[in-house]
Amino acid sequence: MFYRLIFCFFFICSISQAQTIIPLPNSYKPDNGFFKIPESITISGIEKEFTKLIPAFSTSVQKLSSLRITETTKNGTIRLIRNPKITGREAYRLKVNPQQITVEAGFPDGCFYGLQSLTQLIHGAKTGQIVCCEMVDQPRFEWRGMMLDESRHFFGMEEVKKILNLMSLHKLNKFHWHLTDSPGWRIEIKQYPLLTTLGAKGNYSNPEADAKFYTQNEIAEIVRYAADRFIEIIPEIDMPGHATAAAKAYPEFSGGGSKKFPDFTFNPGKEGTYQFLTNILKEVTTLFPSKFIHIGGDEVSYGNQQWVDFPEIQSLMKRENAKDLIGVEHYFLKRMADSIQKLGKTMIGWDEVVSAGLTTHPRVMWWRQDQPKMLDLALKSGYEVILCPRIPLYFDFVQAESHKAGRKWAGKFAPIESVYAFPSEEFTGGISISNPLIKGLQANLWTETMQTAENLEFMIFPRLSALAESGWTNQEVKSFPNFRDRMATMTDIYQKSAVHFFDFRNSEKESEITEL
């Protein structure tokens, strides 16, 4: 009995020491012994695609610890190995023994993710040694994303890079970039310079603010930066609604709006509108190698009331036998879906696009948690779906009952426990999440209530860690108490990365950031 207790104690300690990783690996086996971390260490890789990952890994480790890493052409203490038997693109095997650490993968993506796990192991080794172990790991979902809205408030390149760094450490692989909306147009389009000289002026808090936007050179730099971290950037150019900034620059394409939302839409009755938007998307496709373009397609009814006053829209309704303004909206979506397909891209839209009957098979982002029927219809229509319901995946909703800077939905908000529990049928109205058309999940951050980097980060972290584990780790392996314990290491990483975050583990000591 005594020896059995000693073994159990060693086993539990081994797991708690080695499993400091977020997201939690799907298979972890501790072994006898420890790898003692020296002051400096060598790393080697035979494959060129693997060795090019070494500089970023070395930099990341050295920012978080005093360990010095040197690349060698000989067998390093850390070895990166291509293993063709590991067939998953993002899969890896990480082995730690007393003399050596190996990261095996079939593809660079998997090797990169193995190195992210190793980074966290090294940082979490508070005693200076890592428990010998073997991890065999790959993600639960192919789409593990986050959306940032920079139309309402603009944060700039360095803040975006900071977020991308932490996304990559968490093995998140999609960055959905909301670059255009009513408050401001944030991407340079050379064919239409007024979009940035006029359309980029103002933000949600101050309509007279100086123009803020990304030049095409800056976009290219951020896209490369993300690609080096195996993150795909998906641009969103919002249409036919949320068009106020574009209409300010090019009013000839405005479809009007409502008293509350003036110039909210593009004009679906003008042929020039489709050429204007297609020309914009052509430039966008040269900047973003992603196969996806997001065109929004949501909340059009907020500002389509004036459509009936346009003779060209009346003609469109007669010609296309559109019975109402919804029919006009659907006609617009079909036209733009066809244009995107001709550009060689796949359209993404919010769940409103499901009812348009699109034959181009867009991907759909289901965001209206109060309308599970739209999720059901998307799946029955054969559309691939990304789950991003307001509750619990809108990070502009507060994290705690007492927080004020942020939103609630009928009293509901998005605590980290709910983010971690997602996805489950509790959040989907009973619709099965095992459907193969469900490709993954994404958190969305709308920025009406935040204009500083501190506010932004406070709303993202630590919920990003919970999101990452929900997207990567299989349901049967997940455990919130275990996650809570592992967050001690991640919290330390946040602090060393100069991240402003909500310390949910010590919430009674936490003062909310409220500056706007």
**Residues noted as catalytic:** 181, 242, 299
Contact criterion met (CB below 8 Å) for 446 and 152? yes
Task: Please name the residue that has the structure tokens 């080096």.
Answer: 228
Sign of CA dihedral 500, 504, 508, 509: negative
> Is 379 strand, coil or helix?
helix
- For residue 3, give Cα distances in angstroms to 8, 9, 11, 15, 444: 9, 10, 12, 18, 51
* Phi, psi for 107 (deg, rounded to 5): -140, 160
Contact criterion met (CB below 8 Å) for 30 and 9? no
The mean pLDDT value for 155-172 works out to 98
Task: Please name the residue that has the structure tokens 């209530």.
Answer: 449
> Is 149 strand, coil or helix?
strand
Mean of all residue pLDDT scores within the chain: 94
> Angle at the Cα of 179 (from 195 to 147), degrees rounded to 5?
175
Helix then strand then coil, % of the chain, to nearest 5: 40, 20, 40
Task: Please name the residue that has the structure tokens 């067939």.
Answer: 87
Per-residue pLDDT band for 516 (boundaries 50, 70, 90) equals very low
**Encoded tokens for 179:** 């670059």
**Encoded tokens for 138:** 């790959």
Cβ neighbours of residue 221 closer than 8 Å, sequence gap 6 or more: 157
Per-residue pLDDT band for 11 (boundaries 50, 70, 90) equals very low
The mean pLDDT value for 237-262 works out to 97
Reported as a single tens digit per residue, the pLDDT across 103-147 is: 999 999 999 999 999 999 999 998 899 999 999 999 999 999 999
Number of Cβ within 10 Å of residue 341's Cβ equals 16
Q: In this model, does residue 5 exceed pLDDT 70?
A: no
Q: Closest Cα to residue 348, out of 383, 391, 396?
A: 383
pTM for the model: 0.95
Per-residue pLDDT band for 512 (boundaries 50, 70, 90) equals low
User: E strands of 319-404, at which residues?
Assistant: 346-350, 363-366, 385-387
Angle between helices 325-342 and 271-287 (to 10 degrees): 40
pLDDT over 70, % of the chain: 94
DSSP state of 366: E
Residue 469 to residue 29: CA distance in whole angstroms: 19
**Encoded tokens for 226:** 């993300």
> Angle at the Cα of 26 (from 51 to 394), degrees rounded to 5?
95
Looking at residue 462, its amino acid is P
Residue 310 to residue 273: CA distance in whole angstroms: 14
Contact criterion met (CB below 8 Å) for 341 and 293? no
The mean pLDDT value for 461-470 works out to 98
Cβ neighbours of residue 275 closer than 8 Å, sequence gap 6 or more: none
Q: Say if strands 346-350 and 363-366 run parallel, antiparallel, or are unpaired.
A: parallel
Looking at residue 385, its amino acid is V
Supply the pLDDT for residue 245: 98
Q: Say if strands 438-445 and 174-178 run parallel, antiparallel, or are unpaired.
A: unpaired
User: What DSSP string describes 382-423?
Assistant: T--EEE--HHHHBTTB-SSTT--SSB-BTTB---HHHHHH-S
